[in-house]
């Protein structure tokens, strides 16, 4: 049974569309995006991100629009726009500021604006609230409310879907927080937790990703150290994991729009309040430098100049996901193409141009090469492990298996010249 509440979701990307889809099962939902081609595709049941199945989209009750006036009379506005960093690693608030300016004139008395975008502690009330008040000519919380409920979606994850992920909610007042709680509690099967303030909720979100970033940075640094000592990092981690309180993180490339970005929001605010963080930024430096480190290892393997051609597999920022924003695989590819002939493949972009200079070949057209780099552990590649050996790897080719899709046993069985983090 649907409630009468009207909810507008602002931004229909990797976060907004799955959320709108889930909300539409219980509420009247307007899906707004400024990208006209995105709106037309969604109306036709096409999701380029592959987050919502075509059959579901076609039957969806979401009202997709590029006209912000269609959001008028909404009881709730949920903002899910990107919050990236600029070239100086400082918060780029252009999208979230624009979203506030678009939403504000359509607010009515009693409306509640919920932000899901990752921000630094205080941004919702210090930046977003004044913009909403200024452009709406209303006061908050007297006329309208604001709240914060951080997104926790894991793009490409078909197991931990939105309804199965626990949620945090917050609001300016207990009353506003309770109203937000009721909205999310209807769509979330997991537990919904109330934060005592918006700043607490903002902080909880930002340290989730900062913690993961630091844990991976630790493993990446161990990988660099153990490589110099000719020690198998994966075996070390596997054995260390036999102790109950060891955290089983793996080395790898940290990119995307969350883990590689969110720590900079925290460190930016930290500097603003007078503390220069060292540990968090050190982790970021290690992770950001991994493409350069891996390229240096490839060059070390090529001292005899035998590597003439490279196959590069996987360009997205993570497995089973089409998003290549801030992809360190892409960064590494760009570094290598300066010195090597490279054929590129990714199952999400077969036969397409990523940009005018980057063409992604079809898998069936990938030929044998001197060096094969498996940069992303797409399920597609895991299922093709034997095919790689029989059809793509040369007898003496080098394999840089960055996500360790091949086990030690497989390495011996297939007689692979394997390099792993």
Structural domain spans, the chain: 6-206, 230-419
Give the pLDDT confidence score for residue 278 in this predicted structure. 97
pLDDT digits (tens, 9 = 90+) for 339-370: 899 999 999 999 999 888 899 999 999 999 99
SS3 384: coil
Please tell me the distance from the alpha carbon of residue 83 to that of residue 89, in angstroms, as a whole number: 12
Please tell me the distance from the alpha carbon of residue 192 to that of residue 182, in angstroms, as a whole number: 9
Averaged pLDDT, 33-44:
96
Judged against a pLDDT cut of 50, whether residue 381 lies above it is answered with yes
CB of 319 closer than 8 Å to CB of 376: yes
Residue of 128, 177, 258, 321 marked catalytic: 258
Q: What b/e readout covers 389-407, taking b as 16+ CB neighbours within 10 angstroms?
A: beebbeeebbbbbbbbbbe
pTM (2 d.p.):
0.94
| Percent of the residues in the chain that have a pLDDT greater than 70, as a whole number | 99
Quote the mean pLDDT of the chain: 95
Measured from the Cβ of residue 214, the count of other Cβ atoms closer than 10 Å reads 20
Please tell me the distance from the alpha carbon of residue 344 to that of residue 260, in angstroms, as a whole number: 24
pLDDT digits (tens, 9 = 90+) for 118-165: 999 999 999 999 999 999 999 999 999 999 999 998 888 888 999 999
pLDDT digits (tens, 9 = 90+) for 89-130: 999 999 999 999 999 999 999 999 999 999 999 999 999 999
Judged against a pLDDT cut of 60, whether residue 252 lies above it is answered with yes
Residue 258 catalytic?
Answer: yes
6-206 belongs to which CATH class? alpha beta
pLDDT-based confidence at residue 1 (cuts at 50, 70, 90) = very low
Q: Which two structure tokens, joined as six digits, stand for 214?
A: 């630091």
Strand (E) positions, 228-362?
309-313, 341-345, 352-355, 358-360
230-419: which CATH architecture? Answer: 3-Layer(aba) Sandwich (3.40)
């Amino acid at each position: 049974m649907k409630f009468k509440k009207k909810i507008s979701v602002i931004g229909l990307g990797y976060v907004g569309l799955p959320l709108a889809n889930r909300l539409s099962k219980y509420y009247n939902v307007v899906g707004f995006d400024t990208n006209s081609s995105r709106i037309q595709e969604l109306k036709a049941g096409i999701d380029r991100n592959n987050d919502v199945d075509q059959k579901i989209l076609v039957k969806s009750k979401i009202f997709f629009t590029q006209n912000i006036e269609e959001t008028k009379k909404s009881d709730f506005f949920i903002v899910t726009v990107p919050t990236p960093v600029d070239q100086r690693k400082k918060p780029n608030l252009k999208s979230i500021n624009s979203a506030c300016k678009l939403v504000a004139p359509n607010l009515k008395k009693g409306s509640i604006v919920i932000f899901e975008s990752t921000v630094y502690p205080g941004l919702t009330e210090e930046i977003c609230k004044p913009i909403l008040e200024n452009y709406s000519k209303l006061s908050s919380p007297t006329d309208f409310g604001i709240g914060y409920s951080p997104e926790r979606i894991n793009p490409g994850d078909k197991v931990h879907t939105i309804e199965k992920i626990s949620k945090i909610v917050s609001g300016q007042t207990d009353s506003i927080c309770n109203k937000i709680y009721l909205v999310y509690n209807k769509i979330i099967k997991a537990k919904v937790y109330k934060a005592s303030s918006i700043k607490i909720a903002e902080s909880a979100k930002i340290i989730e990703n900062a913690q993961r970033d630091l844990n991976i940075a630790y493993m990446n640094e161990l990988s660099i150290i153990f490589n110099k000592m000719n020690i198998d990092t994966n075996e070390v981690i596997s054995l260390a994991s036999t102790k109950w309180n060891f955290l089983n993180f793996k080395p790898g490339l940290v990119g995307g729009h969350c883990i590689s970005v969110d720590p900079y929001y925290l460190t930016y605010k930290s500097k603003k309040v007078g503390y220069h963080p060292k540990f968090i930024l050190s982790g970021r430096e290690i992770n950001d430098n991994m493409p350069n480190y891996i390229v240096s290892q490839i060059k070390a393997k090529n001292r005899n100049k035998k590597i003439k051609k490279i196959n590069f597999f996987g360009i997205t920022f993570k497995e089973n996901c089409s998003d290549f924003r801030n992809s360190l695989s892409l960064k590494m590819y760009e570094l290598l193409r300066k010195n090597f002939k490279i054929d590129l493949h990714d199952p999400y972009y077969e036969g397409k141009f990523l940009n005018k200079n980057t063409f992604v070949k079809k898998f069936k057209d990938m030929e044998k090469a001197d060096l094969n780099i498996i940069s992303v552990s797409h399920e597609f590649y895991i299922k093709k492990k034997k095919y790689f050996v029989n059809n793509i790897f040369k007898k003496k080719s080098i394999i840089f298996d960055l996500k360790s899709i091949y086990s030690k046993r497989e390495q011996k069985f297939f007689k692979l010249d394997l390099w792993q983090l």
